[in-house]
Chain A
Amino acid sequence: MGDHSLVGIVDLMTGEKDPRNLMLVFSILKVVMVEWDISNHAELLFDSVYNYFPITFRPPPNDPYGITAQDLKDRLQDCISSTSLFAPHSIPSLLDKLDSTSPNVKKDALNALIACINSYDPDTVSRYSITIWDALKFEVLNAQEELLSELSLQALQDIAKRLSEGVSQVSDQLPLAQYMRPITRECNDQLREPQQKQAKPAQQILGFLSAASFASFMLAVQAVVAPLLTIYQEADGIAKQRALLDTLVVLFDSAIKIFGEWTTRTPETNIENPLLEFKDQFSDIFGQALMGVIKEEVSFRVSALKGFLRLSTLRNFFQDNEVGLFVQYLDEILLKEESVGRDDLKKEAIAALTEISKHKPRLIMDITFPAFVATLPDFDDGTNSNYLPTLESLAQISVEKDIFETLVRRLLSKFNILLQKEQPGSVAYPRAILVTILYVMSQRKMDQDPNLELYYDKIVVSLCRNAAISASGKANNNILNDATVLDTLGRLCNLIVRALPRNKQDEVAENVYTLYSSADDFPSVPFSQSASDDQQRTMIISTYLLAGLPTDCASLPYTSPNMSALLFDVVKRSTTECAPATHLALLRHLSLLVNKFLPKSELSLATELFDTLLPSNAEGKTLSPESIKTLFWLSKALVLRLAPKTSDHLTSLLSLLSSPDKVTSTTAAHGFAILLRDDDVLSTANGANIRLLSKQRVFTTLVPLISSKIREVNVAGSDSPTPEHIKPAHLTALSGILSTIPPSLVMPELPTLLPLLLQSLDLQTSESQSVRIATLETLAVIIRDNGVGVIEECGHIQSLVTRLLKTAEHKPAGDKAAAVNSPRLRADALRCLFLLAQTPVSDAPAVAKAGKLSPLLPVKAEVVRSLGFVLDDPKRDVRKAAVDARGAWLRGVDDPPDDDE
């Protein structure tokens, strides 16, 4: 089979157009190109496939064959790159295509070029390397599109990789060196003025090429670093120096790619890093830039810090003492310097310390840790809270295991010292210490921590016991009588208890109420007749402990034969007045017990409780706010596990809204937000019984009822007067439910809901602000996800826009008659207007939309005019929102085409 059949094959397929056949043809030809001797017919074969480049195929609608343009492109590309014999034809042709005006053609050409570079043999690649560079240079330096510039950089890097194959010794005679020479010269030229636009692409070229291989890195460093350092010394301004530092950072990044970081696991190369030659100079320059300039030059110092960080993590570059110097600089920045502007430098410094702690934990332990801990006060006398940033920094750098352990140990001993003090100062400090421990522990997988049992003893057992002592009034101070401290301690215990092994959890269960104390020292709260406020407050801890226990925990106190007595006791406490924090703990306790621990067979107990609190004949009854909240938390527990009587309970709760007593009605209205709101204690993380359909159930049960009730009130009008508070109460309840429901559930009901939402925007009282804000948030999500179309379908654009404009209006405070629109409300309304006009991401092809006018057009003039006045709002954020909204309406809502066109 010789030349004859080769020519025949090409003749056979010439003129083929069917994509199905082309897929086959390309595959067949590729075999011919690779397997046969085609040296006499290279051009013929190349032309036979290259005729099809670039592929502009677009599959017909309802494409029956499943062939995409990309499939064809891939096969064609395989042919073009199949043999080095094509190089004299393919590379010039592909480079010609870069002159095309279509980005798609350029993209295909670059992709094909990359394929050729990677498959032709290195000698061929070398022959064309400089030609390719000359052509691609323009694409990178005058980048029109990011993607094209990226592909070009990729191609340049791939050439360097191919030319580095088998290179062990760097010399000037290498093809690689010849390729790199014009490139580094160009980069050096561009980088002489590092602030100019083309310096950035020059940096990128340098970055990509130097990261290609060890040899290319060597060549790049030899050619570039010394000139850069000279320009740096002669630079006349900090902005210029900064740009040069950024260039060096690009080189350091390449160094890290080639030599690895300290923690990199790949085997070490025994080649010397060419940057080592400049080590001292770098150290001086970056140290000087970081610490030796005025403090306000934040961006310059940040660049220096980034460079220093790269050098510190680069494997086998700095000695430990050199990294240590950098660590000391960072400590100084964090501890001694005043904040400047947005504190960018401090943020970077912390990030850098965190990064170094992964590579050199020892240095952080020896240098940073003692320095930071030494600045922590023994107690807070209330004059300053400087310890807070220090604790924050400590928390962030303590990711490494050793550092974490030391930090927890040190902080615990600080806390214990505080507990012993007669005059411990503000409780904010001990609380901050606990929050720090909580933060670092929540960042780790505690169930795999080998010291877990130690933490259990030191924190859960010992501190809970201390809390019990405090509650009985026998402690040196009242740190642990503070509700916020107890709350934080509770969360910390919760975190640990969840991770404990089963036998320890049983031990916790037994001590949920006794808090590891004997009955004489501390009477547990449930069933105690005379629990003091301090003792009641320990229910905060008990609740968190309970939350951390598994559902099938057998040894809970007071649960046999059933929970009845315990539940009634908790309810009794939660319906009497007490401090808010304690009350919340009691409510959570109740809902935990009912949701998580009450067996299915005993659910009637909960229903019984509900009926006691809210007898069915209670129409028009007045309930205390405590009782109402208890009812809602009890219902929350039941609703989340979708107990059998969920719908009945929800309906009874809704009837509270119609109570003639205003307080009962409004309190209940706010309660509806509780039902489905995510709670820290009653959460999936704590193993609460949360059924997936519970939200759906609440929504579908309540919304139709609320909607019909509001319609009833509207229709009734003045004939049979309903109390004024009833409609706002229903709207408040609705907004409470909506704020806890995913928008996808809301969408199908939109036609019913939208009128209600619009009515809640009509509420004018200042108490209704939170309702209106919630409504606007819901509207914003609906509009953002579905575009203006859905509002149009319901036919409410005009009424919506009018209300939004009204809400966006600023009225002077003196005018009592007018509604008060807080800045937040005004900004939210403007955001909705902005989203309305923002062209929605529509799948409909342009053809379908052409000729159709925007539904917003009828109101455009009104909106643009009204927004003109909102631009004068006294609040900056509101003005900003108004500018965006007005811009969107001017831009996004097209005027109708003129008739004469």
Chain B
Amino acid sequence: MASEMQNSNPTILNAADLPKRLRPAPSRKPGIFGNGLFASALPFVYASKLPPEGFTSSSESESDDDDLLEEPIDEQEIYDLVSTISDPEHPISLGALAVVSLPDISITPTLPYVPASPLRTVTVLITPTITHCSLATVIGLGVRVRLEQSLPPRFRVDVRIKEGTHSTADEVNKQLADKERVAAALENGTLMGVIAKMLETCQ
């Protein structure tokens, strides 16, 4: 195993420093300690505020406004999908190894001249930890599989090596963009085994 390892000591980003989605703080209503410390310590104080008989019509109407609010798929969501994939060499996530990073993900309309078209293209640029990493293709394939499994059909997935970060970037890009070769790779049991293992850690 050790001899195969190409980069045994990569730089790791601290988990706390990875980009995360900040949830808008739930509006805190004075008088109801639903969100703070007292809610966790004394759940009954909050619970007793609900109509005890389960006629929850009031709380239903409250969330109605939220229901209408649409949350479109954005770059952070794509990042969350792929950053938890583990690296095939280390039990470390692609996010922590900075193989994928938020600024290198973009979502663009597939047909810019047809504004009404719902089609979107997701572009993910991956940065191998070292420039001659032969596993870059496998990583790219893993990212591709993950996105194709997790995005609705109207999304087109484009995974490429970031410019200037890999010695054979063009070749790898060609492989990743070639539908036939991707499909053939996915028929390969050993390769799928590696990719399934990478995707195991996805949360």
| B-binding residues in A (CB < 8 A) | 138, 142, 144, 193, 195-198, 200, 239, 242-243, 298-299, 302, 341-342, 344, 380, 382, 385, 388-389, 392, 395-396, 426-428, 431-432, 435-436, 438-439, 442-443, 484, 487-488, 491, 580, 584, 629, 667, 670-671, 673-674, 680, 736, 766-767, 769-770, 813, 822-824, 868-869, 871-872, 874-876, 879, 883, 886-887, 890-891
Measured in the bound complex, the distance between the Cα atoms of B22 and A428 in whole Å is: 28
Q: Once the chains bind, are A822 and B8 in contact (CB under 8 Å)?
A: no
Q: Once the chains bind, are A891 and B10 in contact (CB under 8 Å)?
A: no
Interface flag for B65 (CB, 8 Å)? no
Known: A197-B92, A392-B36, A876-B77. A680 touches B9 (CB 8 A): no
Interface flag for B116 (CB, 8 Å)? no
Measured in the bound complex, the distance between the Cα atoms of B11 and A196 in whole Å is: 4
Query: In chain A, what residue has the closest Cβ to B28?
Result: A385
Known: A388-B36, A426-B30, A426-B31. A868 touches B153 (CB 8 A): yes
Measured in the bound complex, the distance between the Cα atoms of B11 and A439 in whole Å is: 45
Measured in the bound complex, the distance between the Cα atoms of B71 and A822 in whole Å is: 15
Q: Once the chains bind, are A435 and B152 in contact (CB under 8 Å)?
A: no
Of A431, A439, A879, A890, the contact of B73 (CB 8 Å cutoff): A879
Dominant secondary structure at the A interface: helix
5 contacts between A and B (CB under 8 A): A298-B16, A438-B42, A443-B41, A813-B67, A822-B67
Measured in the bound complex, the distance between the Cα atoms of B30 and A427 in whole Å is: 10
Known: A299-B16, A341-B22, A435-B45. A883 touches B52 (CB 8 A): no
Q: Once the chains bind, are B54 and A770 in contact (CB under 8 Å)?
A: yes
Interface size class of B (residues with CB under 8 A): 35 or more
Measured in the bound complex, the distance between the Cα atoms of B21 and A341 in whole Å is: 10
Interface flag for B149 (CB, 8 Å)? yes
For A769, list chain B residues within 8 Å (CB). Answer: 60
Interface flag for B180 (CB, 8 Å)? no
Measured in the bound complex, the distance between the Cα atoms of B8 and A193 in whole Å is: 14
For A868, list chain B residues within 8 Å (CB). Answer: 152-153
Known: A298-B16, A389-B36. A872 touches B42 (CB 8 A): no
Near A by CB (< 8 A), chain B positions 30-86 give 30-31, 33, 36-38, 41-42, 44-45, 47-49, 51-57, 60, 63, 66-68, 70-73, 77, 81
For A491, list chain B residues within 8 Å (CB). Answer: 44-45
- Digitize B134-177: 1 where CB-to-A-CB distance is under 8 Å, 0 elsewhere: 00000000000000011111100000000000000000000000
Measured in the bound complex, the distance between the Cα atoms of B11 and A677 in whole Å is: 53
Smallest beta-carbon distance A10→chain B, Å: 38
Smallest beta-carbon distance A633→chain B, Å: 10
Interface flag for B202 (CB, 8 Å)? yes
Query: In chain A, what residue has the closest Cβ to B5?
Result: A142
Query: In chain A, what residue has the closest Cβ to B42?
Result: A439
Smallest beta-carbon distance A610→chain B, Å: 19
For B13, list chain A residues within 8 Å (CB). Answer: 195, 239
For A239, list chain B residues within 8 Å (CB). Answer: 13-14, 17
Interface flag for B12 (CB, 8 Å)? yes
> 8 more A-B contacts (CB under 8 A) besides A196-B10, A198-B9?
A198-B8, A344-B16, A380-B30, A426-B30, A438-B42, A670-B53, A822-B63, A871-B151
Smallest beta-carbon distance A775→chain B, Å: 14
Measured in the bound complex, the distance between the Cα atoms of B55 and A770 in whole Å is: 9
For A392, list chain B residues within 8 Å (CB). Answer: 36-38
Query: In chain B, what residue has the closest Cβ to A588?
Result: B52
Q: Once the chains bind, are B54 and A872 in contact (CB under 8 Å)?
A: no
Smallest beta-carbon distance B65→chain A, Å: 12
Known: A442-B41, A887-B199. A342 touches B22 (CB 8 A): yes
Q: Once the chains bind, are A193 and B37 in contact (CB under 8 Å)?
A: no
Query: When A and B form their complex, which 8 residue pairs have the shortest distance between CB atoms, in order from nearest?
Result: A428-B31, A872-B152, A299-B16, A385-B30, A871-B152, A874-B70, A883-B150, A392-B37
For B196, list chain A residues within 8 Å (CB). Answer: 891
Smallest beta-carbon distance A750→chain B, Å: 24
Interface flag for B114 (CB, 8 Å)? no
For B45, list chain A residues within 8 Å (CB). Answer: 435, 438, 488, 491
Known: A435-B42, A822-B63. A487 touches B48 (CB 8 A): yes
- Digitize B106-136: 1 where CB-to-A-CB distance is under 8 Å, 0 elsewhere: 0000000000000000000000000000000
Measured in the bound complex, the distance between the Cα atoms of B120 and A872 in whole Å is: 12
For B181, list chain A residues within 8 Å (CB). Answer: none
For B30, list chain A residues within 8 Å (CB). Answer: 380, 382, 385, 388, 426, 428
Interface flag for B2 (CB, 8 Å)? yes
Measured in the bound complex, the distance between the Cα atoms of B48 and A426 in whole Å is: 20
Q: Once the chains bind, are A883 and B38 in contact (CB under 8 Å)?
A: no
For B11, list chain A residues within 8 Å (CB). Answer: 193, 195-197
